[in-house]
Amino acid sequence: MQLHVSVAAAALAIFSLVDAAQLSWTDAYTKAKKDVASLSLAQKVDVATGIGWMNGPCVGNTPPVDKIDFPGLCLQDSPLGVRFAFNVSGGIAGLNTASTFDKTLALQRGHDMGVEFREKGVNVQLGPDVNMARVPEAGRNWEGFGEDPYLTGVMGALTVEGIQAEGVIATAKHYILNEQEQQRTTSSSNIDDRSLHEVYVWPFARAVEAGVASIMCSYNKVNGVYACENDDTLNRILKEELGFKGFVQSDWQATMSGVPSALAGLDMTMPGDITFGSGNSYFGGNLTAAVRNGSVPLSRVNDMATRILASWYKLGQETHYPSVGVNFVNYTDAPIRNVQHNHKKTIRSIGAASVVLLKNNGNALPLKTPKSIGIIGSDGGPSPGSYSETACADHGCDAGTLAEGWGSGTAWFPYLVDPYKGIKARASRTTKFKTSFDDYDLEEAVAVAKAVETPIVFANADSGEGYITVGNNPGDRSNLTLWHGGDALIEAVADANPNTIVVLHTVGPVLMPWLSKVKAVINAGLPGQESGNSLADVLFGDVNPSGRLPYTNAKKASDYPAHAVDAAEIDYTEGLLIGHRWFDAKNIEPLFPFGFGLSYTKFGYNALKVKAAGSKVSITATIKNTGKVDGAEIPQLYIGFPKSAGEPPKVLRGFEKVFLKAGHSTKVTFDLDTAKELSIWNSDARKWEVVKGSFTVYVGASSRDIRLQGTFKL
């Protein structure tokens, strides 16, 4: 059994000529300030003002400034691939990337996206999404990296690093507390300062450390003030505390004012007009007038233009940057420019590495050479027309197999390998297939199940951005049940054949009332264009599953501390207890815990060593593949703070993915920086403080499967 590691193994060795040509922030600022000093007030304002909705080839465009040979910027979605474009990769979701717990693959994905955006002439990729999966129903959870701030921070930073190494400006979004779709443009997300810093700012801080050149402020209010005119979150936290050097852009139509937004730290308004097609702007001429009448100091506009131009210079975009190769207004008028390269290999590798094996009774998987296989459920079959650019706008439907959610976080598929196609191509020529793609024809499904040796039932749960409603799901899911009668379908098949295997394509956790009746369960998430091939790699054992849940899957919906609500005030009353932290603190047993995932082999943990010296803490453990199959394990480090700190029972502070041949072992080391990872936020003093006292070390295979435990003192 062999992992597909060729792409991953090469990722960290990549040396990009683009990256080598990039400037330091200091040098970029020097060049930008010289340019800004030569511009008129109106020209400076132009740099900061989009030209309006559908007035240019990209979803966001800024005008050229000929005096300094600045061509203007092309800003384009999405966090997983180039939106509204042909000949691009139909990428894999952020949530799947998080499920790999694989830093090498996350970095490679960032590089691949950077290459495609650059070659399409896009200056600014609107991603990654580093919002938190605070509520299980939230429509855009699949765009991000799950419920844990540490995991999200690592995956977000690696994505930024990969994108920007290819000369494209990455955008960390949506800043901040944009964790649901309902009333996202009017509601206020209300939170205490400590929880804001320790949970929701955390991944943005890691993106800033990675050098992210743009951050997008969100639609919602934060403690009663709109995010794009919030002095506390933009100026005090982002620019002063975190030292962010790039530019803050608004989400599309998230600029709610002129003078207050400018003073609070907004640097660029997108797409420029107040409402789509209105022809007027809060910036533009209004900002110019505000400077002239003294409402906004000239230094603020200088700063806006400097930050934008410095980001452009820093990424080396002033020389040899490709012309714009997308056309948002008329897709077919864009230049024909195939930018896919071999990126399907990365997508396939991440797809397989993100498969989470949730149950495998009697070693039902991997499949040996079954005489017959049944593919049951619409999610197992083709998606006729539903993912094309015309048949289903922004993937706002759920017909056939699910490989991306819906909304602005999507990219068109150049092709989509459905599960039936992928499994059939990999299976033995002697294996017979029977299919039933009608979710509601239980009689046919049962007939197929009884006629085959191995029935595989496919079901899904979809979600997306709130401007599209699918069924009764206004972006956010209305519940956590499977779509299209999936639960009833699984029950019927399981009752007909005890060898039933379930494959789920979901945007997050789902309820599983049928769990005890089936042999095996796989959650494949949203695997992108190589969906069926990635799944077949795992089903037949070509890849040993190593995916881990980046969220907690509860037994019942009421076990979660927060839900998507249609309300004007959204109170983050759970504070620090997001996700698995809540389940630990309240002693609630999940159906499947955060970090959980099975393998086709077994791993042993031993020889824990903890060394605390000065500002560094080093923790080592030995991991051994005690089974008979080669595979990868993901040891996870959790830290229990002294009780006086008021932290959750344990917080994630490290993870590593290690591949081990059967019978082999390796030492894993976790190095902690006390100033960052063993500190808490002091709201009164407005600073991070290292906690003193006795800490507990937990090393295990999930948040609930702790194998080793130790202590250290600071």
Give residue-wise pLDDT tens across range 52-99.
Answer: 999 999 999 999 999 999 999 999 999 999 999 999 999 999 999 999
3-state secondary structure of 653: strand
Residues 204-211: what's their mean pLDDT? 98
C-alpha 320/C-alpha 400 separation (Å) is 42
Question: Which pLDDT value is given to residue 393?
Answer: 87
| pLDDT above 50: residue 6 | no
C-alpha 404/C-alpha 385 separation (Å) is 14
The residue ranking higher by pLDDT, 391 or 677, is: 677
Mean confidence (pLDDT) of the chain: 95
Amino acid 638 reads Y
Question: Which pLDDT value is given to residue 390?
Answer: 60
Which residues are 681's β-sheet partners?
688
Residues 204-216: what's their mean pLDDT? 98
Mind listing the pLDDT tens digit for each residue in 273-307? 999 999 999 999 999 999 999 999 999 999 999 99
| Phi-psi label, residue 424: left if phi above 0, alpha if psi -120 to 50, beta otherwise | alpha
What would you report as the CA-atom Rg of the chain, rounded to the nearest whole angstrom?
A: 25
The residue ranking higher by pLDDT, 397 or 638, is: 638
Max Cα distance, the chain (Å): 81
| pLDDT above 50: residue 1 | no
Which of the residues 251, 267, 394, 462 is marked catalytic?
A: 251
User: Is the Cα dihedral 94, 99, 103, 105 positive or negative?
Assistant: negative
Q: Dihedrals φ, ψ of 442, to 5°?
A: -65, -30
Whether 251 is catalytic is yes
The residue ranking higher by pLDDT, 3 or 235, is: 235
| pLDDT above 60: residue 589 | yes
| pLDDT above 80: residue 4 | no
Question: Which pLDDT value is given to residue 565?
Answer: 95
Q: Report DSSP state, residue 551.
A: S
Question: Which pLDDT value is given to residue 9?
Answer: 37
Q: Report DSSP state, residue 53.
A: T
Question: Which pLDDT value is given to residue 614?
Answer: 83
Question: Which pLDDT value is given to residue 3?
Answer: 34
CA angle 611, 615, 620 (to 5 degrees): 25
Q: What is the 3-state secondary structure (H, E, C) of 360-417?
A: EHHHCCCCCCCCEEEEECHHHCCCCCCCCCCCCHHHCCCCCCCCCCECCCCCCCCCCC
pLDDT-derived band at 388 (thresholds 50, 70, 90) equals: low
Instruction: Please answer whether residues 413 and 398 qualify as being in contact, where contact means their C-beta atoms are separated by less than 8 angstroms.
Output: no
Q: Give the helix/strand (H/E) hosting 622.
A: strand 616-625
| pLDDT above 70: residue 8 | no
How many Cβ atoms sit within 10 Å of the Cβ of residue 444? 15
How, if at all, do strands 520-523 and 603-613 pair? unpaired
Question: Which pLDDT value is given to residue 2?
Answer: 32
- Does this model's pTM top 0.75? yes
Asked, as a colleague might, if the bond just before 341 is cis with ω within 30 of 0, I would say no
Mind listing the pLDDT tens digit for each residue in 427-454? 999 999 999 999 999 999 999 999 999 9
Q: How far is CA 709 from the centre of its chain?
A: 31
C-alpha 175/C-alpha 250 separation (Å) is 9
Mind listing the pLDDT tens digit for each residue in 648-682? 999 999 999 999 999 999 999 999 999 999 999 99
The residue behind tokens 């800003």 is: 75
Burial 368-381 (b: 16+ CB within 10 A, else e): eebebbbbbbbbbb
CA angle 325, 327, 330 (to 5 degrees): 145
Question: Which pLDDT value is given to residue 427?
Answer: 97
Mind listing the pLDDT tens digit for each residue in 111-157? 999 999 999 999 999 999 999 999 999 999 999 999 999 999 999 99
Amino acid 16 reads S
Counting residues of the chain whose pLDDT is more than 90, the rounded percentage is: 94
Question: Which pLDDT value is given to residue 615?
Answer: 85
Question: Which pLDDT value is given to residue 28?
Answer: 98
Query: Which is nearest to 147 in space by CA: 113, 111, 98, 107?
Result: 98
